[in-house]
Amino acid sequence: MKSQPLSHLKNSSPHFLETYLTWSKREQLKSANQVIIDGKTLDIASVVTVARNSCPADIDRSDEVVERVNSSVKFLEEYLSKGYCIYGVNTGFGGSAGSRTSQLTALQSALLQLTQTGVLTEGDFKPDVSNYDVGFHSMPVTWVRATMLVRCNHLLRGYSGVRLEVIDAVLQLLRKGLTPIIPLRGSVSASGDLMPLSYIAGVLEGNLDIQVHWEEGTASKVISAREALDIAGISPIVLGPKEGLGLVNGTAASAAVAALAAYEANQLAVLSQILTAMSCEALSGTAESYHPFIAEIRPHVGQIEVAANIRSFLMGTKLAETPENRDRARPGLFQDRYPLRSASQWLGPQLEDLNASIAQILVELNSTADNPVIDVATNEVLSGANFQAVSVTSAVEKIRLSLQMIGKLLFSLNSELVNPDLNKGLPANLAADDPSLSFTMKGVDINMAAYMSELAFLANPVSSHVQSAEMHNQSVNSLALISSRYTMQAVEVVSLMCAAHLYAVCQALDLRVLHNCYLEALEGRIRSIIRELFSGLQPEHQDDLCKHLSQSTRKSWAGSASYDLHDRCQSLSEAITPVLLSGIQKYGGQLSGQADRIALIETVQGRVSQESICLFQSMRNHFFREQNTASYLGGASKMLYTFVREDLKVPFHQGLVEHPTLECSGQQIKERPRKTIGSWISVIYAAIRDGRLHRPVMACLQDSQPEETRNGH
């Protein structure tokens, strides 16, 4: 997908615009392979690109940026020369701030000593060794890279008294692929993320007990902090007054992980809307639920946006009911169940919360978040609490709750897809062969319940579990990093749910096309049988009888979705008996030459039963070789379906024959690998997590952006 000019996007719907522009800028940064930071303009795209794509970052060397950093350092020196006390520079820390010292550089080392207290295990230093416990105790490398970038951006604002060469040294480590191994747990995120940030500062000191993960090309290994400095061409740094405090006393880790989570959550929010449209098609739903009038008379911006998006995603579909093919007398359930019908009302508020969270995170990325702060303009050093990261906590807890709501919708849609009592005629568990011996999506349905339970637990707030810390000095603390960590876990769980549902809905779409085509072909066969065996009827009476037979066969087929093929076709042939009897009673005068009408009905039943079985087997075998599903789908569904089937090469599941240990039959399967269902879902999951799926998702939104949102309505 080519980058689009921004002018035509300016009136797009709010969440789409934010998500698209962030993704688009990330693509541009990846191509440029450079991020420049100035303390004021760091955005989520830049954080993600540095963290996930190892994009090099550098300082804006403009006079303005250099001057404000140097001015704060110079002013701090002048302030100290007057004999003034400054918290954390010549006083103790936290509840120990009543002490005083003249050993300023030693005090900064003392700060690092008191904060470098996290737990790491041997497995964290040998990631290639299997971990048989609960997992690693260290932060993922991507989180550390993001944290280093954000902290440097905070310090470049010029209110922290940290030298430019110290900031540049951190970025030089990043550019060389050197990231400290930082303990995962131990921060209450007020007074900032002291513990994790202290390990970054420790590398600058050359602390021999701190280990560094080194990525060089495709190779990686763990080395000491001193070795890392040598590789980066940096001499061990003696931290000046307030530089230790300036490095560790901030919200960088919380804000960094929050930014990564927000990026992924936005992508999942868009994907969930496309999956809803695909589910609407697979369940033969209606676009009426997303009618603009419904949204306009309850004008929440999120609801309006979701309704417009899903409505546009369904344009061109031949499977869902649209205004062009609306059936005002449709049989059965007259309106869709809640997951489809209320999707815009359900997802809309989540988009609004995600937008609010993004705004909070963007402010935090470009804030001064330490204490004390230096105001050169008024010649003051001020003590406060900008390290209190409650804004980050607020943001990520909204994100996590939104992810839970998205997951609940996907769970409900998936349950409807696999349940033959709810899915409007699709086979039980979406099995392509006989459901008595093939349970294709049953395990996936169980997985979704497990994912949903975990996701619902993760949605609980962290902020309500604050404990007093550090001599009761930190009696209120944000727990922002803990909450951000759990939000990343929620991202992972929803990604699993999206992968599972995308696999299931592609299967359901294939089956819907197969079964719809079969029922149309079966109507033709039945029409031929009627014209042959009821030749005495006038053509218009034959047509009337065929019309009622068609209604009967479709109803029978929809109601026997859990039957094996033979039983399903037998049930279908029996279901037409009342229609045949009624037709004979109504038009019997025209059948004077066929006295044994019971035998005639039995003949029709036998023919229908046999031919319906043979017809389905023939069409299914052809479908196994070649699916034409894409031609029946709306634009967004077609794009995502094609990506799964062609780009990822995840095939239509043919049933029990797919099991890797069974004797293989069928040329189509012999020509490709047979995997477990979980392995195929894993292929989709990997594409979600590594970003490959983001491109078709963004293409769906861009190509399907509805006219009313383009015009700002």
Q: What whole-number distance in Å separates Cα of residue 640 and Cα of residue 684?
A: 11
Which of helix, strand or coil describes residue 259?
helix
Give CA–CA dist 652/452, Å, rounded.
Answer: 25
DSSP, collapsed to helix, strand or coil, labels residue 35 as: strand
641 is known as an active-site residue: no
The dihedral of CA 701, 702, 703, 708: what is its sign? positive
Alpha-carbon distance of 163 to 100, in angstroms, equals 24
What DSSP element (H or E) covers 598? Answer: helix 597-625
Q: Which of 419, 413, 430, 415 is nearest to 340 (CA)?
A: 413
Written as one letter, the residue type at 540 is: E
Residue 20, CA distances (Å) to 17, 24, 492, 699 in order: 5, 6, 21, 9
Amino acid at 452: M
How many whole angstroms separate alpha carbon 199 and alpha carbon 178? Answer: 13
Write down the H helix ranges in 176-251.
194-205, 225-232, 243-248
Strands 57-59 and 380-382: unpaired
Query: Can you tell me the distance from the alpha carbon of 88 to that of 359, in angstroms, rounded to the nearest whole number?
Result: 31
The answer to whether 399 and 353 have CB atoms below 8 angstroms apart is yes
Measure Cα distances from 17 to 13, 515, 595, 668 in Å.
Answer: 6, 38, 72, 43
Tokens coding 58: 């550098």
Active-site hit among 87, 199, 518, 641:
87
Cα–Cα nearest to 192, from 376, 358, 372, 51: 372
Q: Is 451 helix (H, G, I), strand (E, B) or coil?
A: helix
Q: Where do the H-state alpha helices sit in 92-140?
A: 104-115, 122-125
- Quote the strand ranges of 211-299, DSSP E: 211-216, 219-224
Residues of the chain by 3-state class (helix, strand, coil), percent to 5:
60, 5, 35
Spatial distance between the Cα atoms of 24 and 44, rounded to a whole number of angstroms: 12
Residue 480's closest CA among 356, 389, 357?
389
- CA pair distance 382, 463, nearest whole angstrom: 27
Catalytic machinery residues: 87
